[in-house]
Amino acid sequence: MTNVAKTDIGPPLYKDQLPEIIKNNYGQWKYHEHVKPGVLKHVAENGDELYTVRVGSPRLLSVETLRWFADLADKYCDGHLRFTSRHNVEFLLTDASKIDALIEEVEAEGWPVGGTGNSLKNLIHTQGWIHCHSAAIDASGIVKSVMDDLYDYFKKDDLPAKLKISLACCLNMCGAVHCSDIAILGIHRTVPKINDEEVSKACEIPNVVASCPTGAIRPNPKKKSVTINEEKCMYCGNCFTVCPGLKIMDPDNDGVAIFVGGKTSNARSGPRFSRLAIPFIPNEPPRWDSTVKAIRNLVELWVENARPGERYGEWIERIGWEKFFDMAGLPFTDKHIDDFIFSVPTFRSTTQFKY
Amino acid sequence: MAKKKRPLLDQLKEGKYPSFVKEMEKMAEKKPAVEDHLNLLERSYEDKTVHWKHGGIVGVRGYGGGVIGRYSDLGDEFPNVKEFHTMRVNQPSGWFYSTETLRKLCDIWEKHGSGITNMHGATGDAILLGTTTEHLQPCFDDLSANGFDLGGSGSDLRTPSACVGPARCEHACFDSLDLCNHLTQEYQDELHRPMWPYKFKIKISACPNDCVSSIARADMSIIGTWRDEIRVDQDMVKEYANNGKDIEGILASCPTDCISYDTEKKEINIDNENCVRCMHCINKLPKALRVGKEKGATILLGGKAPIVQSAFLSWVIVPFMKLESPYDELKDLLERIWDWWDEHAKVRERVGELIYRKGMRVFLKEVGLEPDARMVKYPRANPYIFWWPEEVQQND
């Protein structure tokens, strides 16, 4: 009989994964500096210096590439590396004289060093058509196209402030994008198609009815299925998550919505949601040209107009959203006005506004 | 067999940024499943839609989560991705790896699956993308034998994650890596065996910069802070000044106007009683300014993405808590919250939505937390005040 695998052992202990310099200076860091774009220097109380070289990655990585990262970490970093929450790879060096050689070697293979300080951060994103059943848009292809276009902003750090762009391929938001400077969100725009046979076989009707936030779904006892009130449906897809017989994907109508102005740090102003700027851009594989162009316009507008240190949302709050729509040349439509349960506090109840 | 042409995906091999298509092609040589995966994706690009079916229930012995079942709806045409399941592997705290650990993971995944990964998923796990049902258990056996374990999925505790913390950051107000590891180990059962109304996420940032965006992405957001005074090194202020740093310009963005710069003395003065610990000045002048010494965390609850009642940012429920191993106060609170949520929530109701439905008043009382003005942005404006029975005179 083969041995039964141990369960509940938990992840590898982080302490065993740390390089010596971090073990020696754990909790003893004094300050850090930005050496140049993509390179950070952390100085410990005892004067030890740690250099971080940040490399952007498309998140989807082959084991071949991971092994190459390991080779680089063995060569330059005493056999340790880390990843960030935004899918970067960070090489941790103690010898400053090796930084340029590492960067040269990494970039020769087409991997960009950057993403620190006032730069465009690496794009976090979800699975999209690579591996998800409810995606309204692809993730990796749009991210690749946007990053190709905004590549220089990742490589430099002279933006007004940091810029975080994020993508979620449907509004389940596995990659919660709702507090990003610019959020790219896959949306559905049509009512789920009811496959009565599949609903009756695969779905628990009470759960399906309860899943609908607007009460649009009712039981259809004759067919052991459900009906959907089209006027009430807001295309959230929550019913599809609990019931495969309610397919919500619609290639002719699914696409991109763009939200702007969110943040999560507490620096200066508090965390805040991103707000709708562009309600719909059609899916345009393989390069999503309209989406890429729209995002470039949004970024350039902020770069030209924000004061030093202002995040996207801080800039808009200062000038006012009505001004933002004017400056961006974006039409303000009925789609921009919230009509879900927390809408009322977003309506303007003052005579203070701009023309 | 001749390779299929992929004119659409080929366009994503161009451009300066690293190409995920090239990453997949690196494995397609060795793995027929990845060749089929690419061809299936090309079809999605033609059709402008997904070709994956709704998940299926697959897993490994003893666990209810950690594996996401995935089947293609074109399985007959692309047989090697007919079954193409995801395994979530719990990451080491802070996403640090020795190259030995990383190579082990690569070898196991090349042996048992596609060799395609996500480093990492949004929850924090290393995502192993694509294998068949029959490979799941052997893959898990090898993972376990080499010191890895699966992360959470479904209605369970999702894999906690943490910022880099004291490993490489001077702002860390507590040991985010140790806390993350401690909670992960303490709650292995909750993580591996879904038995709650819905998912519960914990994310840990060791200072108010919140580098893992815990406030937006976690049911419980643990965010480092301090209670005493910002530490000022006036010598370093002078060094910044002498190097031409625009100190006044930086301090002008202080949200409470509690910090000032004496241009003659080249000194910074802080009215700490009015500081809200936003981190702005510390971020911009890290050599001169440091977080205080009386450190801990603010505990916030309820954060989530829009499904279904709207997105919430987590709300303050404990303004300040000391966080030192074994974290009994935090774990005690967490378990009281889970008990209350488990007892009262509807199916697929996140804890934030339950608080919204029941009222913060009820939540605080039932989990035993005292109301605090730091919990709200504004006090109530409406007059619909609820009273507990003992607070009013009972008429017969």
Q: Which three-class secondary structure string do you get for chain A?
A: CCCCCCCCCCCCCHHHHCCHHHHHHCCCEEEEEEEECCEEEEEECCCCEEEEEEECCCCEEEHHHHHHHHHHHHHHCCCEEEECCCCCEEEEECCHHHHHHHHHHHHHCCCCECCCCEEECCCECCCHHHCCCCCCCCCHHHHHHHHHHCHHHHHCCEEEEEECEEEECCCCCCCCCCCCCEEEEEECCCCCEECHHHHHHHCCHHHHHHHCCCCCEEEEHHHCEEEECCCCCCCCCHHHHHCCCEECCCCCCCEEEEEECCECCCCCCCCECCEEEEEEEECCCCCCHHHHHHHHHHHHHHHHHCCCCCCHHHHHHHHCHHHHHHHHCCCCCHHHCCCCCCCHHHCCCCCCCCC
Domain A193-247 has CATH 3.40.50.300: no
CB contact (8 A) between residue B169 and residue A7: no
The H or E element spanning position B43 is: helix B32-47
Task: Give the minimum alpha-carbon distance from A53 to chain B in angstroms, rounded to a whole number.
Answer: 13
Please name the residue of chain A whose CA is at the shortest distance from the CA of residue B37.
Answer: A130
| CATH 3.30.70.3340-classified regions of chain A | 14-114
Average of per-residue pLDDT values in chain A: 97
| Per-residue pLDDT at B123 exceeds 90 | yes
DSSP letters along B46-104, please? HHTS--BPSP-----TT-SSSEE--BBTTTTTSGGGSB--EEEEPPPGGGEEEHHHHHH
Q: What percent of chain B has pLDDT over 70?
A: 99
Inter-chain CB proximity B106 and A16 less than 8 Å:
no
Amino acid (one-letter) located at B233? D
The span from the CA of A98 to the CA of A77, in Å, is: 9
Report the pLDDT value the prediction gives residue A2, as an integer from 0 to 100: 57
Record: contact A13-B181, CB cut-off 8 A:
yes
Residues B158/B199, Cβ–Cβ less than 8 Å? yes
**Over chain B, what is the mean pLDDT?**
97
Tokens 């970039």 found at: A107
- pLDDT tens-digit map of A293-307: 999 999 999 999 999
Contact B97 A83 (CB under 8 A): yes
Tell me what the mean pLDDT of segment A268-278 comes to: 97
Nearest CB partner across the interface for A213, out of B45, B148, B308: B308
Tell me the per-residue pLDDT of A23-46, one tens digit each, with 9 for 90 and over: 999 999 999 999 999 999 999 999
Query: Is A4–B184 a contact, with Cβ atoms under 8 angstroms apart?
Result: no
Examine the pLDDT at A213 and tell me if it is beyond 60.
yes
- Each residue's pLDDT tens digit, B28-51: 999 999 999 999 999 999 999 999
Q: For A226-247, write each residue's pLDDT tens digit.
A: 999 999 999 999 999 999 999 9
* A103 neighbors A36 (Cβ within 8 angstroms): no
Contact A5 B287 (CB under 8 A): no
Q: What is the pTM for the complete model shown?
A: 0.97
Question: Of all helices (H) and strands (E), which one includes residue B315?
Answer: strand B315-321
CATH 3.30.413.10 residue ranges of chain A are: 119-189+251-346
CATH of A14-114, one of 3.30.70.3340, 3.40.50.740, 3.40.190.10, 3.40.50.300: 3.30.70.3340
Q: Which residues contact B167 (CB under 8 A, 6 or more apart)?
A: A14, A18, A22, A26, B94, B96, B177
Chain A residues whose beta carbon lies within 8 Å of the beta carbon of residue B313: 179, 271-273
Q: Is A147 on the interface with B (CB under 8 A)?
A: yes
Residue with tokens 């488990």: B342
Distance in Å from the first CA to the final CA of chain A: 79
d(CA A69, CA A76): 10
Q: Mapping DSSP to helix (H, G, I), strand (E, B) and coil, where does residue B345 land?
A: coil
What three-state secondary structure class fits B321? strand
Q: Which secondary structure element, helix H or strand E, spans residue B191, and what is its range?
A: helix B188-192
Longest CA pairwise span in chain A (Å): 79
Query: What pLDDT band is residue A1 in, cutting at 50, 70 and 90?
Result: very low
In this predicted complex, what is the ipTM? 0.97
Residues of A in contact with B131 (CB under 8 A): none
Cβ separation of A129 and B175 shorter than 8 Å? no
Confidence of residue B56 (pLDDT cuts 50, 70, 90): confident
pLDDT digits (tens, 9 = 90+) for A69-114: 999 999 999 999 999 999 999 999 999 999 999 999 999 999 999 9
Comma-separated ranges of CATH 3.30.70.20 domains in chain A: 193-247
Say whether pLDDT at B132 is over 90. yes
Residue pair A266/B209 in contact (Cβ under 8 Å)? The answer is yes
| A32 near B CB under 8 A | yes
Q: What is the pLDDT of residue B2?
A: 58
When CB atoms are compared, the residue of A32, A79, A286 closest to B9 is A286
Strand partners, A55: A89, A113
Mean pLDDT (whole number) for B46-68:
93
Cβ–Cβ of A171/B306 closer than 8 Å? Answer: yes
Task: Count interface pairs A-B at CB distance under 8 A.
Answer: 363
DSSP B294: S
How large is the average pLDDT for residues B259-286?
97
Interface test with B, best of A48, A49, A113, A133 (most B CBs within 10 A): A133
CB contact under 8 A, A85 and B211: yes
- Residues of A whose CB is below 8 A from B55: 133
| Residue B221 and residue B300 in contact, taking contact as beta carbons nearer than 8 Å | yes
Please tell me which residue of chain B has the smallest CA distance to A5. Answer: B141
Q: Residue A270 half-sphere exposure, CB side, CA atoms within 13 Å?
A: 9
Closest CA to A246 of A278, A299, A202: A202
According to CATH, the superfamily of the domain at A119-189+251-346 is Sulfite Reductase Hemoprotein, domain 1 (3.30.413.10)
Confidence check: pLDDT of B298 > 80: yes
Banded model confidence at residue A174, pLDDT cuts 50, 70, 90: confident
Minimum-distance CB partner of B96 among A5, A17, A341: A17
Q: Which residues of B touch A60 (CB under 8 A)?
A: 20, 23-24, 116-118, 129
Name the residue facing B209 among A4, A52, A267 (closest C-beta).
A267
- What is the separation, in whole angstroms, between the first and last Cα of chain B? 88
Asked whether B352 and B302 are in contact (CB, 8 A), the reply is yes
Which residue in the set B86, B110, B286 is minimally distant from A131, CB to CB? B86
Q: Mean pLDDT throughout B14-40?
A: 98
Minimum-distance CB partner of B117 among A66, A151, A254: A66
Q: Write out pLDDT tens, residues B232-255.
A: 999 999 999 999 999 999 999 999
| A251 interaction partners in chain B (CB closer than 8 Å) | 47-49
Contact A85, B211 (CB under 8 A): yes
Local structure of residue B17 (DSSP, 8 states): S
A 199-228 residues inside an 8 A Cβ radius of B: 207, 210-211, 213
The tokens describing A290, both together, are 């309209």
Mean pLDDT of A120-142: 97
Cα-based angle B308, A338, A291 (whole degrees, multiple of 5): 85
User: What's the rounded Cα separation, in Å, for the pair A34 and A27?
Assistant: 20
Distance between A328 CA and the closest CA of chain B, angstroms: 25
Q: Is there a contact between B149 and A110 if contact means CB atoms under 8 Å apart?
A: no
